[in-house]
């Protein structure tokens, strides 16, 4: 589905991002695989995907909240002379606290990573897409942006901001051939669940039609579809991948 395309995917070292990375490689994409920190294990994993699927997977490691590091990374991409057909903004952090217990420091930290950094990176990459008159941007939001989940006022707000940004991008850049959509996962089986009480996780499972947690592969396959030409007439949308979460 992605043969011959080149993608930049953020937050690929673990969880949903790691699965998106593998699904993109499996579907024939060449990938700039972002991680915050370069480790031998991450480099080896990228090399193994390259060999397994006969694609190019290039590690690109930098701190998203470091503006200078981000600019340097974008320059590396530009020097390669390869077009960026797809941008997947997956990297993010989560924070759980009741509204009255949430601190200003945590609010600022979450927005720096989950929204401001994404906004800046998307500005850089979308300019390249506009020049080539083609591109697909997928932002990983959350059902917390759409539903009133207790303890998610900070996290949900950052992800809601992504939805608004995505819809505006779709309107402003559509005539340049650039699409922008969001995927909103429900409760997904990643290490982020460790910050949630087991009773809360079980309640979320019970409130889905499918009566199970989402798996990273469930989210990744939806991202592959939106990134592909099969979704060429889809833009400005929010795709919930939540197992039929009761709302």
Mean pLDDT, the chain, integer: 95
The answer, yes or no, to whether residue 48 has pLDDT greater than 70, is yes
Segment 117-140 shows an average pLDDT of 98
The tally of domains found in the chain comes to 1
Report pLDDT for 118.
98
The answer, yes or no, to whether residue 49 has pLDDT greater than 90, is yes
Distance from CA of residue 116 to its chain's centroid?
A: 14
User: What DSSP line would sit under the chain, residue for residue?
Assistant: --TT-EEEESS-SSHHHHHHHHHHHHTT-EEEEEESS--HHHHHHHHHHHHHHTS-EEEEE--TT-HHHHHHHHHHHHHTT----EEEE-------B-GGG--HHHHHHHHIIIIIHHHHHHHHHHHHHHHHT-EEEEEE--GGGTS--TTBHHHHHHHHHHHHHHHHHHHHHGGGTEEEEEEEE-SBSSGGGGGS-HHHHHHHHHTBSS-S-B-HHHHHHHHHHHHSGGGTT--S-EEEESSSB--
Does residue 241 fall inside a structural domain?
no
Report pLDDT for 247.
64
Owning domain of residue 78: 6-236
The answer, yes or no, to whether residue 50 has pLDDT greater than 90, is yes
Does residue 242 fall inside a structural domain?
no
155 is catalytic: yes
Asked whether the beta carbons of 55 and 25 are under 8 A apart, the reply is yes
Report the CATH number at residue 193.
3.40.50.720
Task: Specify the range with the lowest mean pLDDT, choosing from 31-45, 63-77, 179-193, 227-241.
Answer: 179-193
The answer, yes or no, to whether residue 124 has pLDDT greater than 70, is yes
Does residue 193 fall inside a structural domain?
yes
**How do residues 155-210 score in pLDDT, each as one tens digit?**
999 999 999 999 999 999 999 999 999 999 998 999 877 767 788 788 889 999 99
Does residue 246 fall inside a structural domain?
no
- Catalytic-role residue among 119, 155, 225, 233: 155
d(CA 30, CA 55): 5
Does residue 232 fall inside a structural domain?
yes
d(CA 163, CA 208): 22
To the nearest whole percent, how much of the chain has pLDDT over 90? Answer: 87
Residue 146 — φ and ψ, nearest 5°? -110, -25
Does residue 245 fall inside a structural domain?
no
**How do residues 52-99 score in pLDDT, each as one tens digit?**
999 999 999 999 999 999 999 999 999 999 999 999 999 999 888 889
Does residue 126 fall inside a structural domain?
yes
Report pLDDT for 200.
77
Burial class of residue 72 (count of CB atoms within 10 Å of its CB; 0-12, 13-18, 19+):
exposed
Does residue 244 fall inside a structural domain?
no
């Amino acid at each position: 589905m992605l043969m011959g395309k080149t993608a930049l995917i953020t937050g690929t070292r673990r969880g949903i991002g790691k699965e998106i990375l593998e699904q993109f490689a499996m579907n024939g994409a060449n990938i700039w695989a972002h991680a915050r920190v370069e480790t031998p294990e991450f480099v080896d994993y990228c090399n193994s995907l390259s060999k397994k699927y006969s694609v190019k997977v290039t590690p690109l490691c930098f701190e998203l909240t470091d503006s200078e590091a981000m600019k340097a990374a974008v320059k590396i991409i530009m020097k390669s002379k390869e077009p960026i057909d797809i941008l997947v903004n997956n990297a993010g952090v989560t924070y759980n606290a009741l509204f009255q217990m949430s601190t200003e420091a945590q609010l600022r930290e979450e927005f720096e990573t989950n929204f401001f950094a994404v906004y800046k990176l998307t500005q850089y990459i979308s300019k390249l897409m506009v020049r080539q008159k083609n591109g697909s941007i997928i932002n990983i939001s959350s059902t917390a942006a759409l539903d009133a989940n207790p303890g998610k006022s900070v996290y949900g707000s950052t992800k809601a901001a992504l939805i608004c940004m995505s819809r505006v991008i779709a309107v402003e850049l559509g005539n340049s051939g650039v699409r922008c959509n969001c995927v909103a996962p429900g409760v997904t089986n990643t290490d982020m669940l460790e910050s949630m009480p087991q009773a809360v996780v079980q309640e979320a499972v019970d409130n889905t039609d499918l009566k199970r947690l989402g798996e990273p592969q469930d989210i990744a396959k939806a991202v592959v579809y939106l990134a592909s030409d099969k979704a060429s007439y889809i833009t400005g949308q929010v795709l919930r991948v939540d197992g039929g979460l009761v709302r």
